[in-house]
Structure 1
Amino acid sequence: MPDLLVRGAWIIDGTGAERRRGDLAVTGGVIAEADGAPAARTIDADGLVLAPGFIDMHAHSDLAVLTEPEHLAKVSQGVTCEVLGQDGLSYAPVDGPTLARLRRQLAGWNGDPDGFAWDWRTVGGYLDRLDRSGLAANACYLVPHGTLRALVVGWEDRPATGAELSRMRELLAQGLREGAVGLSSGLTYTPGMYAPTAELVELCRVVAAHGGYHGPHTRSYGAGALDAYAEMIEVSRRSGCPLHLTHATMNFGVNRGRAEELLALLDAALADGLDLTLDSYPYLPGSTTLAALLPSWATEGGPDRTLERLRDPAARERIRAAMEEHGSDGCHGVVADWSTVQISGVRDPRLADRVGRTVAQLAADGGGTEAFLDLLLADGLGTTVLQHVGHEPNVRAIMRHPAHTVGSDGLLTGDRPHPRAWGTFPRYLGHYSRELGVLGLEETVARMTGRPARRLGLHRRGVIRPGYAADLVLFDPRTVRDTATFDRPRSPAAGIPYVFVGGTAVIDDSRPTGARPGRALRRRTTGETR
């Protein structure tokens, strides 16, 4: 007897093929043909679409999957797998001192929960912890380049020595053997920003040898965006490593209407045989930490040295000139427009009145740098922000590209986090597919399922097919939509009544079940991720 029978659904299988009306059975967590046999449970899915579970190619849930195991932000959207370890910064591999500094640096992204058991040091140890804790959705992990550099080189602005590069290569290979799916890099964040191109090439050669991919946060999304994307393409050409451009955007006024230039660059690389994919989120504002806007020299040495500079009048003036006169690298080569930088979260609750206000609004004298620096000092670098710098034609052009997949890039902490953490997938399905017709529904689902599954090398996942894992979503194509807003960002999707991970319901009749059937999916030496 099947465990589950879904009857009368519109099946969109994740390949891009046209939908078909049909039934589907699940037995032992695996999809099976519906042969008319009665099942332990039957769902009448008339009018609903049955799709593979959605895959979030860019997630910042590295701690949330452990501290908030129900993980409603993601499973309520239909996400059954997400990729952690993004932007070159996460918590493995580490030693004790490196972990302590990373916890401070990443508190704005992920929080730093009291009483949390940091009981791992390696990639394998972190993945084991995910399995022991139990997950609502499955997870993959990228070895973070900035974390490698912090562990081996430190937070200094200098090239790695030959011995240090060899050690990073060894640690990267170990993480890949332990199950990581590739390497991430964060080239506007300390300390990954200090790596020259040649270092990335050497590390990506290790990734290529293990069947993984490189997912970079490039050196610029503003004035130097095209050069930054070209650098990543060059790294892939020289290393032979597949490339996945995370949160691919063209932002700030200098890039208004220039998405086609990026897409021409990508098309030329694809025509040359480069293995290239990308992801994007369907919103105009971006999100990061306030400290990320500082010039790179101001963050050298880690959090303590950064705070020292913020107290030094000469350093503060140098920062002001870099940001308000020249366009610092932290601001992507663009002169700071403080009216676009909105506070979304603070670590210190005494600063809660700043949330929702722009840096320009915090500045009494009309100049924002002093208010910016004072807030960083008062909050110990823990502040997060929204950056209102996107352009709708660019967003739509990039999401139409055939190499495109979906990533939320959602931070889950803070008072008012970006709503993309809760709304990315239903926003694609409702706003951009149903309402605007930017992509057809079958194509939209493929970009959330089958295509990212191929990039990750997922074994028997991402497509509705007999013998594949029963990671499944049932949604109403007429009503599915995002309800998360910038004022109320923690609001679950509408129109997604059922979500299954390995055949176990994590959302059942629109209610979370609290089940934890997910696990860490590890890349094997065969190149498959299981």
Structure 2
Amino acid sequence: MDGTGGPSYAADVAVHEGRIEAIGRIRAGGRRTLDAHDLVLAPGFVDMHAHSDLALLRDPDHSAKAAQGVTLEVLGQDGLSYAPADDRTLAGVRAAIAGWNGPGDDADFGWRTVGGYLDRLDSTGIAVNAAYLVPQGTVRAYAVGWDDRPATPAELDRMRTLVAEGLAEGAVGMSSGLTYTPGMYADGAELTELCRVVARYGGYYCPHHRSYGRGALAAYAEMIALAREAGCALHLAHATMNFPENRGRAGELLALLDRALAEGCDLTLDSYPYTPGCTTLVALLPSWAGAGGPEAVLARLRDDAEAGRIRYALEVDGSDGCHGVPVDWSAVEVSGVVDPAFGGYVGTRLRDWEQARRLLLGDRLRSTVLQHVGHEENVRAIMRHPAHTGGSDGILQGAKPHPRAYGTFPHYLGRYVRELGVLSLEECVAHLAGRPAARLRLPDRGLIHPGHRADLVLFDADTVAAGSTYENPRALPTGIPHVLIDGRFVMRDGRRTDVLAGRAVRRTPS
């Protein structure tokens, strides 16, 4: 299955010096031959939304992704990552996303630029390939700080420069997290100006937009209008319709996307094949509570009057951090903590605000949670869209992470192709390989064509399945015996090899 979505066919594939050399009936024997009878050969899968920014550096094995057939991850997501940054910005970002990536005490943050981070990936040697998005929230923290206010003209110029430098150094685009501080403090005009820079470099904009709940359709429409105004390609991150307000409304989103595509918008999206979401507990708080950065949030939580205001915003008004929907604590399950003293919370649903407040303070804002707010009918409808790609949004931290981190790609193939027939196998491979490579503008990846890089996965269509569950979220998949990157086996006979074939994949100049 060559990644185009076209019919599958039987053929031999010859690989030489990391690239596909020939496809067809190849009579001459190679130095090594693998009998792939009864297996499907597909291009390696692309995780369009990954949170492995530190995991790739600290975990050479990285079976969480390699065992799924993932050969490329896109990092720098949701507007927050570790470059570009100065010392002050880096300290704030590390604290803000400790729930995603851990506190980073075991990492050597020797870089300060996007190029420096990509160089570190190369010099370390990594399990799978990685591309990077310039994180708009980090850029704002660097140029403006963590205050909830408009940027000055000089600060906006500084942000333009930082984005341009990141793209020139190899980033594939820019991300935003518009329900996360400080990125959410940017208005549409500010974002449009930064997207003009992204467009000039041939990158794409990947927003986690302002609402997946009460204001979801308006938030999607805002991003489409912004991208159109800036002339920038748009990729909608974890494009879901969640919370009770949006049950059965995926068709309205898809109609909005179809209109934009018909009008010439360069638009794609990604999703994960599960109903619960996953984020940090602190992300649910209202935006005003995050002004000033993590230490300011903790000070507000310690103050009874301020904590009361936060509670009212969460439970009555519908916090913008909780997508405009009053929080249902019974839908919030703790998936991970950093301080082991709070390990007893993991796997439990929160009872009320006071319990949430104790956890926020005790774990210093670093706890992660699952939100059980999705709808299966929406998940299935969205993954059928021809602009759809796969993204795990996989947070690898915590005692009980979301199973999507270890299971997204085999879950698509096993559950949604073989068991439910939502997509054909050929279509699904295109969603997971060919289409994302096209979005990333990688001319020699994502397809099985002569001259393309030999990033390949072999799986058994009859048995492939996610092993990860909510009870055992780190179980590896079945039915994916072999994975190659640049023609080198990173998975062989279902086992991780010691090969570190991954490299930083830099933006191809337009």
For Structure 1 versus Structure 2, the TM-score category normalised by the shorter chain is over 0.9
Matched, 1:222 2:213: yes
1-structure distance, mates of 2:361, 2:179: 20
1:425 aligns with 409
The alpha carbon displacement at 1:39 in A equals 1.4
The alpha carbon displacement at 1:42 in A equals 1.1
The alpha carbon displacement at 1:491 in A equals 1.1
2-structure distance, mates of 1:114, 1:90: 15
Matched, 1:404 2:388: yes
1:147 aligns with 138
2-structure distance, mates of 1:278, 1:88: 16
Matched, 1:193 2:184: yes
2:347 aligns with 356
The alpha carbon displacement at 1:514 in A equals 1.9
The alpha carbon displacement at 1:213 in A equals 0.3
Give the alignment of 1:241-252 within 5 angstroms: 241-252=232-243
The alpha carbon displacement at 1:41 in A equals 1.4
The alpha carbon displacement at 1:238 in A equals 0.5
**What letter corresponds to residue 179 of structure 2 in structure 1?**
T
The alpha carbon displacement at 1:88 in A equals 0.3
One of 314, 317, 326 as aligned partner of 1:326:
317
**Residues matched between the structures, number:** 508
One of 484, 491, 505 as aligned partner of 1:521:
505
2:5 aligns with 16
Deviation per residue, 1:411-447 (Å, 9 max, x gap): 0011100010000000000000010000000000000
1:5 aligns with none
The alpha carbon displacement at 1:487 in A equals 1.1
2:277 aligns with 286
Q: Which segments of structure 1 move beyond 6 Å, counting only runs of 4 or more? A: none
Give the alignment of 1:454-493 within 5 angstroms: 454-493=438-477
Matched, 1:53 2:44: yes
1-structure distance, mates of 2:508, 2:205: 17
1-structure distance, mates of 2:321, 2:106: 33
One of 362, 375, 394 as aligned partner of 1:391:
375
**What letter corresponds to residue 420 of structure 1 in structure 2?**
R
Give the alignment of 1:121-160 within 5 angstroms: 121-160=112-151
Give the TM-score normalised by structure 1: 0.95
Give the alignment of 1:259-270 within 5 angstroms: 259-270=250-261
Deviation per residue, 1:481-511 (Å, 9 max, x gap): 0010111111111000000000000000001
**What letter corresponds to residue 436 of structure 1 in structure 2?**
L
1:177/1:524 contact within 8 Å kept:
no
> SS state of the match for residue 292, structure 1?
helix
2-structure distance, mates of 1:447, 1:324: 38
The alpha carbon displacement at 1:33 in A equals 1.5
Q: Once the two structures are aligned, what percentage of the paired residues are identical?
A: 64
What's the C-alpha RMSD, in Å, of the aligned pairs?
A: 0.7
2-structure distance, mates of 1:228, 1:298: 21
**What letter corresponds to residue 380 of structure 2 in structure 1?**
R
The alpha carbon displacement at 1:478 in A equals 0.2
2-structure distance, mates of 1:310, 1:468: 53
One of 86, 90, 109 as aligned partner of 1:118:
109
One of 228, 237, 252 as aligned partner of 1:237:
228
Deviation per residue, 1:187-220 (Å, 9 max, x gap): 0000001000000100000000000000000000
Deviation per residue, 1:112-140 (Å, 9 max, x gap): 23342111000000000000001111110
Deviation per residue, 1:3-31 (Å, 9 max, x gap): xxxxxxxxx00001100011111111111
Matched, 1:374 2:358: yes
The alpha carbon displacement at 1:459 in A equals 2.8
The alpha carbon displacement at 1:334 in A equals 0.7
2:54/2:107 contact within 8 Å kept:
no
**What letter corresponds to residue 133 of structure 1 in structure 2?**
T
Bigger drift between 191-200 and 321-330 goes to 321-330
2-structure distance, mates of 1:242, 1:219: 18
1-structure distance, mates of 2:69, 2:287: 38
- Give the gaps of 5 or more residues in structure 2: none
2:485/2:502 contact within 8 Å kept:
yes
2:427 aligns with 443
